[in-house]
Amino acid sequence: MRAIAIRWMQFTLAAAAMATTVAAHADVYGYIDAEGVAHFSTAKIDERYQLFVRGNQPFDSAEFTGAASPSTSKPATVAKNHSPLFQYLTHHPNLKKYEPLLNQAALEFSIEPALLKAIMAAESGFNPGAVSPKGAVGLMQLMPATAERYGLAADARRSLDQKLTDPKTNIRLGARYLRDLRALFPGKPDLVIASYNAGEGAVQKYRNAIPPYPETRNYVQLVTQFYQFYRPAVAEAGASASALASASPSVSGRRVQMTIPGRASMPASVTGTLLQSID
């Protein structure tokens, strides 16, 4: 347990550094459409997108919780706490539903729950049945080929895709993959996140740097900002379920749409190196 705690602390410190260096300049825009689907982007795609988080300022989670800011000891603005986008990210019904599985996987693989939540929010919007155009499946949007690398296989009753829609299986494999990516890129959480999007092979191809794909670069920034939402300060001071119901009544079962400029330039297939299980 001590080794796990040390690794967790090291990753937390590295992630905090990454939050101020990699994503500090990433503004986040978003809106919720008429059907209750949330859309997020690191650029103002059109007039529907409104500024959600300004990236050139230090992120203070107290601004979103109504708590006092540690640096100023003054009451923070609570208006943002009622933002439908914030409510969507922090109080989606499935977030609470799957939180025990997230915490269990986080403990097993020494991954921060905040990072798992951030990736899940960006990848699937907490929808276990989500399937991407490229074939990624489930809450953590895992490719079947990645699942096979960890021994998941189809059987007479269920296909590989069907198995990946199981929340426990999907979350655990996603956390395990992140653990192995962290071992591959120690102390570089930005490269861990980039690898989750583009594949570790792409990161290695560019000499252990974030690949020059607009999608991946914006993905790293967006996930890093989401990570800030899910750090303990937000969880401890969250709004009540009744406030969520009145502010965002139609989030259940909806998927977050992450619209990123340059997605069309992303390679159709990026092959990663075969990670070895270290269980």
Contact between 52 and 28 (Cβ < 8 Å): yes
Q: Is 123 noted as a catalytic residue in this protein?
A: yes
**76 Cβ contact partners less than 8 Å away, ≥ 6 residues apart:** 60, 62, 63, 65, 66, 67, 68, 69
| Given the residues 35, 99, 112, 123, the one annotated as active site | 123
Helix (H) or strand (E) holding 51: strand 50-53
Contact (CB, 8 A) for 53 and 225: yes
Non-local (6+) Cβ contacts of 186 within 8 A are none
Q: Alpha-carbon Rg of the chain, whole angstroms?
A: 18
Task: Name the one residue in this structure whose structure tokens are 């990645």.
Answer: 146
Match 């529907």 to its residue by tokens. 48
Q: What share of the chain is helix, strand, coil (3-state, %, to 5)?
A: 50, 5, 45
- The SS3 assignment for 43 reads coil
Order across the sheet with 50-53: list the strands: 50-53, 28-32, 38-41, 257-258
- The residues annotated with a catalytic role in the active site are 123
